[in-house]
C-alpha cells in the first residue's frame, strides 16, 4: 500500500476494522447457532430469519442490501478493471456480505489511488 496517500490508508484501515468487526459479529452468532442443540441446520437458520415480523424485516433488508451491494461491486469493479469479482458474492454467501463489501472497498480504494497517481 505504499502508493496510498495517508487519507487512503486511513480509509482502508477503517474498512478493514469494519470487516473484522463484521466477521466477529456474524460468526460469533453463526457458531453459537451451529453448536446449539436441535438447530435445524440450514433450514433452521433460514426459519430463524423469519421467526417473526421484526426478524423477517431485518432478513429481507439484509438480503436486498446485499443484492444492491453486489450489483455495485460488479458495475464498479468492471469500470475500474478489478479482477476476480466472483470472489465477492462467494465471500458474501460463505462469510458475510458485511465482510465482503468492506474488503471490496479496500481493493477499490487501492485501485482509485493508483489511478490518481497516474493522473
- Please, where are the H alpha helices in 4-86? 6-35, 41-49, 53-80
Residue found by looking up cell 444492491 in the block: 68
Count of Cβ atoms closer than 10 Å to residue 28 Cβ: 10
pLDDT digits (tens, 9 = 90+) for 42-87: 999 999 999 999 999 999 999 999 999 999 999 999 999 999 999 9
pLDDT digits (tens, 9 = 90+) for 10-53: 999 999 999 999 999 999 999 999 999 999 999 999 999 999 99
C-alpha cell at 116: 490518481
Domain extent listing, the chain: 6-118
Amino acid at each position: 500500500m505504499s502508493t496510498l496517500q495517508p487519507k487512503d490508508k486511513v480509509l482502508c484501515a477503517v474498512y478493514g476494522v469494519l470487516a473484522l468487526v463484521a466477521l466477529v459479529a456474524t460468526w460469533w452468532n453463526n457458531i453459537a447457532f451451529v453448536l446449539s442443540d436441535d438447530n435445524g441446520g440450514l433450514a433452521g437458520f433460514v426459519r430463524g430469519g423469519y421467526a417473526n415480523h421484526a426478524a423477517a424485516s431485518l432478513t429481507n433488508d439484509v438480503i436486498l442490501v446485499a443484492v444492491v451491494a453486489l450489483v455495485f461491486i460488479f458495475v464498479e469493479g468492471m469500470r475500474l478493471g478489478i479482477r476476480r469479482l466472483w470472489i465477492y458474492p462467494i465471500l458474501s454467501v460463505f462469510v458475510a456480505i458485511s465482510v465482503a463489501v468492506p474488503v471490496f472497498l479496500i481493493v477499490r480504494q487501492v485501485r482509485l489511488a493508483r489511478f490518481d497517481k497516474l493522473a
